[in-house]
Amino acid sequence: MTKKPVPYKIYLSEEEIPKQWYNLNAAMKVKHAPFLNPATLQPCSAAELSQVFCAECVEQELNDKDLYIDIPEDIRAFYKMYRPSPLVRAYVLEKALDTPAEIYYKFEGNNTSGSHKLNSAVAQAYYAKKQGLKSVTTETGAGQWGTALSMACAFYGLDLRVYMVKVSSEQKPYRKEVMRTYGATVIPSPSDSTEAGRKILKEFPGTGGSLGCAISEAVECAVSSPSCRYVLGSVLDHVVLHQSVIGLESKVAMEKYGVQPDIVIGCVGGGSNFGGLIAPFMGEKIQGKNNIEFIGVEPASCPSLTRGKYVYDFCDSAKITPLAKMYTLGCGFMPSASHAGGLRYHGMSPIVSALYHEGLMRAVAVEQTKVFEAAEFFARTEGILPAPESSHAIRAAIDEALKCKETGEKKTILFGLTGTGYFDMAAYKQYNDGTMTDTVPTDEELAKGFASIPAIPQNN
């Protein structure tokens, strides 16, 4: 085969947007353990889950049989407004690093919400509308998920209530205005609009809130109205499923030029972009068709894979969600105030957790000053101002490329560039001012988080 020269950007046509998502859960030989009802410790039934989530998302959540699941034409029509996303050959970065490695990145920041989260927001809003629901609720910490969902809800004419962690809504007032522009109601959490919020306000007057508290408020609000459901932007299998468009498009684009990645890298918060990016490549690895190295990159301040335990734990800190078997730092773990808001989660996608446990991928933890060093280098070479979350993947990609420089190996590296960092300028300011610090939890601090893991038989 004669190899065509690879352009700076590989664009696919609209027709090449996938018509089906790739269900990594079906490709896995060892399935992850089911969600458990914390009261009965029995697997959650579809009926139980459907009280909180949209019916079709529950069906996808529990589907570990169908390798491909059709993307409804309506969702593809929305995808066409901002997809296919470009796959970029990082020629300028390669040259600046003086590496024999070839570096590619899949850029998901090319939409107004600024991240990959829109891929699942659109799908979840579509299914809510199709079910005849009038409204959905969610929580948002850093704001990317709330923004993506408000765009999707505006498109499908759904009311949206976003419980935004109070400190974030004060620190990022413009994020809030983007959501309001798309018609969402943004409520700083804790609020007096729910039982859970009132209770926390009474107990801790003046608190800045937390993600766990915002989840409790959003879930309470959803279950107290029959035409409302709660939607989540990461962690769950159906979110990983929706994000498989990232990996499917990447694979088609690379195959067009006869390129095969040796290493695939993504940042991991709840695991959805990473799970989606690696999905079709990992499926083939499980079938013995490739030997790709997969690397998940997490912040050293919130190291759920590299230092967490693989046990059943709550998905939220208020302990109201089902129990998931996953790598976790304990639902009571309070990560330090690092700038990668989207990666500050105590647990990890059950799919990614199972892959890690089976030894099919590895994980690295990186400190934020090193992450911003990479972000700055990337901005100055490739031009894109990356989100702090995405910059974790950049850090690892640069490190792998520098290893190639030492060994002379000509590896092909693919990484996920999940979003842009325009709302994170306070973080960039700290970095530029030289006042950014790294906080890595001590073993004693981690022990406190582990103590919050529910005391249930963990052998199942």
Ligand X SMILES: *Cc1c(COP(=O)(O)O)cnc(C)c1O
Sign of the torsion formed by the C-alpha atoms of 243, 316, 358 and 45? negative
At residue 81, φ and ψ (nearest 5 deg) are -70, -25
C-alpha span between 243 and 234 (Å, rounded): 10
# of chain residues touching ligand X (CB under 6 A) = 19
- Taking residues 419 to 448 in sequence order and writing x for each that binds ligand X by CB under 6 A, - otherwise, the string is x-----------------------------
Whose Cβ is closer to ligand X: residue 197's or residue 335's?
A: 335
- Please state, in angstroms and rounded to a whole number, the distance separating the CA atoms of residues 99 and 42: 52
Q: Determine if 282 is a binding residue for ligand X (CB under 6 A).
A: no
Given candidates 23, 119, 191, 273, which one binds ligand X under the rule CB under 6 A? 273
Q: Determine contact, residues 42/326, Cβ cutoff 8 Å.
A: no
Q: Between residues 119 and 191, which has the closer beta carbon with respect to ligand X?
A: 119
Question: Least distance from C-beta 349 to ligand X, angstroms?
Answer: 7
Q: Which of helix, strand or coil describes residue 155?
A: helix
Contact pattern from residue 214 through residue 233 relative to ligand X, giving x for each residue in contact according to CB under 6 A and a dash for the rest:
--------------------
Please report whether residue 328 would count as binding ligand X according to CB under 6 A: no
Q: Is 269 in the site for ligand X (CB under 6 A)?
A: yes
Phi, psi for residue 396 in degrees, rounded to 5: -70, -35
> Which residue, 197 or 233, has its beta carbon nearer to ligand X?
233
Stretch that binds ligand X, among 149-157, 220-228, 272-280, 451-459 (CB under 6 A): 272-280
Any idea what DSSP says for residue 70? E
With 0-12 / 13-18 / 19 or more C-beta atoms within 10 angstroms meaning exposed / middle / buried, residue 55 is middle
Question: How would DSSP label each residue in 269-280?
Answer: SSSHHHHHHHHH
Q: Which is nearer to ligand X, 389 or 400 (CB)?
A: 389
The nearer residue to ligand X, 190 or 271, going by C-beta atoms, is: 271
Q: Is 144 in the site for ligand X (CB under 6 A)?
A: yes
Q: Which is closer to ligand X, CB of 143 or CB of 197?
A: 143
439 φ, ψ (degrees, to nearest 5): -120, 115
Interface residues for ligand X in 300-319 (CB under 6 A)?
Answer: none
Rank residues 175 and 325 by Cβ distance to ligand X and give the closer one.
175
Binds ligand X by CB under 6 A, chosen from 111, 272, 338, 391: 272
Tell me how far, at minimum, the Cβ of 360 lies from ligand X, in Å.
17
Binding-site member from 342, 347, 350, 441 for ligand X (CB under 6 A): 342
Instruction: Assess 271 for contact with ligand X (CB under 6 A).
Output: yes
The contacts of residue 226 (CB under 8 Å, 6+ apart) are: none
Single out the segment in contact with ligand X by CB under 6 A; choices: 212-220, 269-277, 319-327, 400-408.
269-277
| CB 195 to ligand X: min, Å | 28
Distance CA 342, CA 6 (A): 32
Q: Are strands 263-267 and 228-230 parallel, antiparallel or unpaired?
A: unpaired
**H or E element, residue 153:** helix 144-156
Q: Where are the alpha helices (DSSP H) in 321-459?
A: 350-357, 368-382, 388-407, 425-433, 443-450
- In the complex, the smallest distance separating the C-beta of residue 191 from ligand X, rounded to whole angstroms, is 23
- 80 CB neighbour count, 10 Å cutoff: 12
Contact 184, 161 (CB under 8 A): yes
Binding mask 61-100 for ligand X (x = CB under 6 A): ----------------------------------------
Q: Is the CA virtual torsion 169, 201, 199, 311 positive or negative?
A: positive
Candidate residues 245, 343, 363, 427; the one interacting with ligand X per rule CB under 6 A: 343
Q: How far is the CB of 120 from ligand X (least distance, A)?
A: 9
Contact window for ligand X (CB under 6 A) among 32-40, 67-75, 215-223, 265-273: 265-273
Summarize the chain as % helix, strand, coil (round to 5).
Answer: 45, 15, 40
Q: What is the CA radius of gyration of the chain?
A: 21
Q: Which is nearer to ligand X, 213 or 267 (CB)?
A: 267
Instruction: Report 369-408 residues binding ligand X (CB under 6 A).
Output: 387, 389-390
Stretch that binds ligand X, among 44-52, 179-187, 221-229, 266-274 (CB under 6 A): 266-274
Contact set with ligand X (CB under 6 A): 115, 117, 144, 234, 267-274, 342-343, 387, 389-390, 418-419
